[in-house]
Every structure is written in C-alpha cells, then in structure tokens.
Amino acid sequence: MTSIKILFAIPLLLLLSTINAQLTSTKFSKKELNEDFSFLISSIEGTHPNPYTVISKAKFEKQVKKVKENFKDSLTLKEYYRLVSPLVASLQDGHTRLLFPGKKILNQDDYLFPFIVKSSIDEPYLKITEHIDSAYNKIPVGAEILSINKLSSKNIIHKIIENTSGESNSYRLKMGTDFSMFSILLSAYYDFNQNDFDIVYRYNGKASLIKVDAITIPEMNEIFKKKANTQTKKEEVKDYDFHLKPEIKTAIITFNYMTDQKNFQEFLKDSFLKIKENNIENLIIDIRENGGGNSALGNDLLQYISPVSFSQYKETVIKYSQLQKDFYKLYCEKDSNNCNTYNYIKNKSNGTFDTIADISTTTPNPINNRFIGDIYLLTSTKTYSSAMNFAQTFKHYKIGEIIGEETGGWIVSYGDYIPTELPNTKLKLNISTKKFYTIGTTNKDLHGVIPDEKVPAKDALTNVLNKIKNKKS
C-alpha cells in the first residue's frame, strides 16, 4: 500500500481557498469563552487517566487561572486559541491535544512569510528549502534564518513547541510543523501588521540583513493555482518497502506506517522468502518515519524476527467517563456492528478505572520461517505510538541492535483518544482514555526507547551499512 504525497501547492490551495473571512473575524463573548474553557478543563479531568503525569496539578491550576485572567470582554478565535493551546500542550500527551484550527484563524488580509522553511530542534533552527515563487527569491535556498522581525529563530521554534501537544520537544516540533506550513504557523502565533519582513540570515558563513515583501493569502492562492495546473511531479511514499543489497548479504525493510494488515502480511511473506532465497545475513528495519497505526502489524513483523514468544504490552489502565460513553454510543447508533465497546462500558461508573494485564504472548514463526542473523532497527524522534511499541518490544527481548535517536513516543504513554469539540468556538479537542505500559516498563519510564547507539536519524542507515561492510572485511 502506498500514500501519495503531492508537493505542497495543492493541499495548501485547498486550505487557503476556503478561508471564511466572517468566521475569522467573529468575536466570542466572555461568557462563551468561559463556557468553552470550563468544558475543556472538566472534559480533560473527567476523561484522562491522569493529566498531571508530567505537570503538577498545582502548576496546571496556576496556568488555568492565568489564562482566565486574559479573557477580555470578547476575543477572536485566534486570540482564544493562542491562550488555550499552550495550556493543553503543557500536559505533554501527544494524544491529548487541541487541534490546530488552520484556515479558521486566517484572514484574507494576513501577511504571510514568503518562503518554504524546514524547522529543527537544534541549529540551524530554520532553513529555507524552497522558494514559493521566482518573485520571492531574495534569500537563497539553503540559507539559515537567524531572526524574523527581531524574533530569534530559537524563540520561534520554542513558540511552536509551546503550542503543540506531544511527549518530547522534538516530536512536538515535528507535529507542529509537519501538518502546517511554516508561514501559517507564524501568522497564527504572531501579529505582523506590516507588509514586509526584516530577516537576518546566514549563507556561506556570512550573515546578512534584508527586507523582503510579505505575501498575501490571495497572492499565495494564485501561485498555488498555477502550480496545481502545471504540477505533475509526485513523490510516492510507500507504507512499507523492501530492498536487497546482495553484495553485503543485507536486506532493508522500510516500515513507514502501520496500516492494511492483510496487505502487510503478504508483503512480509514475500520479503522473508526473498531473504531466505538470497542467503541474507543482515536485516535492517527502518522505522525512522513511522508515526504508528495498527500495532497488530508490529506483531506480524516480530513473528519473523523474535527468537522467543513476546508481548508488546505489560498492562493497560482504562478510565471510564461520560464523554467516552457518549462517543461510543453515537458510534454504536451509526452501525450496530460497533456496539461491543459501548455495551461493555455503558454501566461502568464515571471516574472509575480498570487495569488489564496483558498475560498473553505471541509465538514466533517456526525457525524455518524466521530470520536468523544480525538485525538492526533504525529509530528517530518521529518514531511514535505503535511504532514506538514495536521498538520497545524489540529492545526488551534483545532481538537486535537499535541505531538512531530516542523515539518521540514514550514507553509509558497515553492514547486511545476520544474526539470532542468546544461548544461555542468549535475548536476540536482529543483526550486520551487509556494509559499504556509497554513491555518491561514502570511508572518511572517517562522517556522514549533509547537506542543502543545514538546517531542523528539522517545518518543511521549509513552508519549501519558501514558497520556491516566493516564486519565483512
């Protein structure tokens, strides 16, 4: 199965062409803002197993008080989002988040930053990777942005992290920038009323100050329309892929997304048959870009590589709530085949918990249908959710060597979220209902899967290939 990622123009065309000027200028009364805020706080506290895992309740309540003090007689959606979003993000749970409202907080007369930019947790924090249009090319591709209108790049990165939910800062930055164009984030978090930007950038070791024209949303929309009409290039990103390097007796499985289990099982069957036919001695499994999905696919792959019976989870803690029941009731009413969960939870008292120990294990494939050799797992800060579970299981059972970065997902984490929305502003909110303990963990394990050898994710594959080549020589 493959996912098609089209160049940035088309999705942003859809985003920018549907801006509702009336919606973005609407102001909400203080009463409406307080109603939404009370709903948000009570929903999180009533639904989440323990929202105060990372931040203390006392510190959170201080922030709640501070946010409420900033409610004026009326606020726009953008103003309200700026106040509330950092509060939700402070819980540091990637599955409990206020969704970025995108077009709902953009105005047609907003001035946008006219470059495509890559963000990083480390220096260079902001780097220009593409020109939106040939008319906006005053700064060369590859230049490092040091400041925008006297705001340092480091502070801008911090602002994105501050507003984005997630466990680690690296993952929060990834989530914040992956799903929104940088210029839109900049407009969402800062008010730039002038029609140009003062930019300090560094290129080829030399720092320069330049003033560049901003781009308006209608102008950007026209550029995207032209790109959409002429653009034929597509980047095909496969959910999983297989590649042989017979000269060093190595196979590479690139595992980008855990989806379509039936298709994945056929993919594994075919891949491991080729591994056997080619007398492969080294297997590299690359989950650096894997943000999760269906954890059952992790079991499917583990059956081909684990020398022992295994389990991905130690136990799961479930909290029952009214919001959870309402969601599953609606889900059941839409399709009677989806009623099992609702029927199980409907008579549970709100606020109560169940702890379900995972005592079952999965048996690996027979030895003649299992890989016997050296196995390397590549990870990064983008390795999250079910992909993190896979990495922790790989590490716990000592299946092979992990190379790369600490995973973005934590090995004790929250998930299985319930979606809802605030009653007046209609901002969308996800809230976790379960706490997951991956195999071999305790409450103290508030961190990702730590690799055996830490190297930057971009260098991980080269590192392993060199390791294999040196082993052969």
Q: How far apart are CA 59 and CA 49, in angstroms?
A: 18
Tell how far CA 71 is from the center of its chain. 30
Q: Are 171 and 121 in contact (CB under 8 A)?
A: no
The 8-class DSSP code of residue 31 comes to: H
Q: Which structure tokens are listed for 167?
A: 């466990």
Q: How far apart are CA 147 and CA 151, in angstroms?
A: 5
Assess if CATH 3.90.226.10 describes domain 238-472: yes
pTM of the model: 0.87
pLDDT per 10-residue tile (average), the chain, 473 residues: 38 51 75 98 98 97 96 93 98 95 83 92 93 92 97 97 93 80 89 91 98 90 77 69 97 97 98 98 98 95 98 96 96 90 96 94 96 98 93 98 96 95 98 97 95 96 96 70
How would you class 415 by CB atoms within 10 Å of its CB: exposed for 0-12, middle for 13-18, buried for 19 or more?
buried
pLDDT at site 2: 38
pLDDT at site 105: 87
CATH class of 111-234: mainly beta
Beta strands in 87-150 (DSSP E): 97-98, 111-112, 115-119, 126-131, 144-148
Enumerate the β-bridge partners of residue 195. Answer: none
The continuous run of DSSP H or E covering 200 comes out as strand 196-203
Q: How far apart are CA 12 and CA 195, in angstroms?
A: 21
pLDDT at site 473: 60
pLDDT at site 179: 59
pLDDT at site 175: 84
In the chain, where are the structural domains located?
A: 111-234, 238-472
Q: How far apart are CA 88 and CA 292, in angstroms?
A: 22
Q: How far apart are CA 256 and CA 272, in angstroms?
A: 18
pLDDT at site 235: 58
The 8-class DSSP code of residue 339 comes to: -
Q: What residue type is 180 in one-letter code?
A: S
pLDDT at site 18: 53
Tell how far CA 470 is from the center of its chain. 35
Q: How far apart are CA 201 and CA 126, in angstroms?
A: 10
Q: What residue type is 401 in one-letter code?
A: E
Q: Are 48 and 432 in contact (CB under 8 A)?
A: yes
**Same topology between domain 111-234 and domain 238-472:** no
pLDDT at site 346: 95
pLDDT at site 19: 53
